[in-house]
Amino acid sequence: MRDDPEVIALVLAARDGDAEAWNRLVERYAPLVWSMCRTYRLSGSDAEDVGQSVWLRLVEQLPKIRVPAALPGWIATTTRRECLRVLRIAQRVEPAETIEERLDTVDEAREIDAALLAHERNAALRAAFAQLSPRCQHMLSLLMQDPPVPYGVIGARLGMPQGSVGPIRARCLERLRHCPALVALIEAEADITGGGTAREQHLA
């Protein structure tokens, strides 16, 4: 991923002992860890074991981090290794070499990259959405409902003429597209499409 200012700020603050920053990091990336555990078909208890190991390793690594923006890739790689460790201990696949051959493939790498990218996309969208004005948030929330709320109803709820809904919607979406978090994500997706992978990043 391209440098995400929010991730960098959270990593630096957590490294300096900011408990709130640490909690926000865990909250942000716990779904990624969980989704990867599901990819490896781990049980709930095994997934919890993997999660605890990942966060423990991150606590140990925080003082050594030189490239905070690489954290998402590090979490994905570490989670994968922990999933393999749990599988070996449980002896669910024999022999252990078969696990590596089955999982360490191009398809598996793409799955991890896709999970990481989907998680970052959702996080970026949430961050960008939170930066919009309350009126834009309310309008876009109504438009994203299934089925979408008609313009006439939106205009009545927001106290504006129906004809103003379309132009204001366009301006809200334009602001959303230009939020730094989404801009960084779009650039990162372009890099990945061009041949890079999220797993190529390292913390140090």
CATH number of the domain encompassing residue 113 = 1.10.1740.10
Q: Total structural domains in the chain?
A: 1
In a domain, 198, yes or no: no
In a domain, 201, yes or no: no
pLDDT digits 0-9 by tens, 52-108: 999 999 998 888 877 777 788 788 888 888 988 888 877 655 455 555 554 554 455
In a domain, 182, yes or no: no
8 A C-beta contact, residue 199 and residue 105: no
In a domain, 135, yes or no: no
> 14 lies in which domain range?
5-125
pTM of the model: 0.52
Q: What is the pLDDT of residue 48?
A: 92
d(CA 74, CA 111): 15
In a domain, 187, yes or no: no
Low-confidence ranges of the chain (pLDDT < 70): 1-4, 91-120, 180-204
d(CA 153, CA 160): 10
In a domain, 141, yes or no: no
Which residue in 186, 168, 167, 199 sits closest to 72, CA to CA?
199
d(CA 64, CA 38): 29
From residue 32, give the alpha-carbon distance in Å to each of 71, 77, 119, 173.
12, 11, 6, 27
CB within 8 Å of 40: residues ≥ 6 apart = 83, 84, 87, 103
In a domain, 172, yes or no: no
In a domain, 147, yes or no: no
